[in-house]
């Protein structure tokens, strides 16, 4: 890991009590600077472990740039991807002092490493900042519930469409292009599908002219109405 200096991290979520439903960046410049001054900014190469399931949890991480994945190794020997992480996402949350998931970078990632004790102290002194973190945790909880609904669908095309819609909704950039830096095997693990099922589903959406595959890691929504109908149908 190579240490660096940056203005400070932010958080991305839908804020409480404002009537705003879309995802926005929550922290003010002052709050970003406050956290940045107490954190260590590190740049991590692709395919590098950030933290490991079961290890002692001494820090929380906020992603600044790039993408990562969270996964658990099951007793069967299989690996299950539980979430994907993008800029302004938080990882490294723990239970009983140990990390719950393993986090591995997908692309080169810049992140902020914040000691747990330091973060707890910030919360005690700045209730507004604590509320922003609560907004973020609530946002992630909604994402976990949406994941449960997604994998309950029987059709692979429906699961993949809901996954793409989730990626789009969590992206604060405007437009109809969806960044998909993860591998299809990781998508398959996240959705509880086979690699072949994911490839067939993407091919079906492409042939139906609902999406266009723009290279290896970008998808263009071509037919918005049909895309939304497909994602909403249960």
Q: Give residue-wise pLDDT tens across range 139-162.
A: 888 888 889 999 999 999 999 999
Instruction: Look at the alpha carbons of 92, 94, 99, 102 in this order and tell me if their dihedral is positive or negative.
Output: negative
Mean pLDDT of the chain: 89
As a whole number of angstroms, the distance between CA 149 and CA 161 comes to 13
Location of each CATH 2.60.120.10 domain in the chain: 2-148
The pTM for the full model equals 0.89
Class of domain 2-148: mainly beta
Distance CA 68, CA 106 (A): 5
Residue 16 clears pLDDT 60, i.e. is over it: yes
Least confident of 121-130, 160-169, 172-181, 211-220: 172-181
pLDDT for residue 127 is more than 70: yes
Contact of 101 with 71, CB cutoff 8 Å: yes
Contact 221, 176 (CB under 8 A): yes
Domain with CATH 1.10.10.10 in the chain: 153-232
The architecture (CATH level 2) of 153-232 comes to Orthogonal Bundle (1.10)
């Amino acid at each position: 890991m190579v240490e660096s200096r940056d203005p400070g991290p932010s958080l991305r979520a839908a804020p409480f009590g404002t009537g705003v439903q879309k995802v926005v960046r929550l922290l003010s410049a002052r709050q970003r600077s406050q956290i940045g001054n107490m954190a260590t900014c590190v740049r991590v190469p692709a395919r590098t472990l950030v933290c490991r399931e079961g290890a002692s949890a001494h820090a929380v991480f906020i992603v600044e740039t790039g993408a990562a994945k969270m996964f658990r190794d099951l007793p069967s020997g299989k690996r299950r991807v539980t979430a994907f992480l993008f800029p302004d996402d938080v990882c490294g949350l723990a239970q009983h002092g140990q990390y719950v998931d393993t986090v591995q970078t997908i692309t080169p990632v810049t992140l902020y490493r914040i000691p747990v004790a330091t973060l707890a102290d910030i919360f005690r002194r700045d209730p507004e900042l604590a509320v922003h973190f609560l907004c973020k945790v609530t946002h992630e909880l909604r994402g976990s519930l949406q994941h449960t609904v997604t994998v309950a669908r029987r059709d692979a095309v429906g699961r993949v469409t809901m996954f793409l819609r989730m990626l789009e909704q969590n992206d604060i950039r405007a437009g109809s292009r969806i960044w998909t830096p993860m591998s299809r095997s990781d998508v398959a693990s996240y959705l509880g599908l086979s690699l072949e099922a994911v490839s067939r589903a993407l091919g079906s959406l492409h042939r139906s002219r609902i999406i266009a595959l723009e290279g290896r890691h970008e998808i263009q929504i071509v037919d918005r109405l049909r895309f939304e109908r497909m994602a909403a149908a249960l």
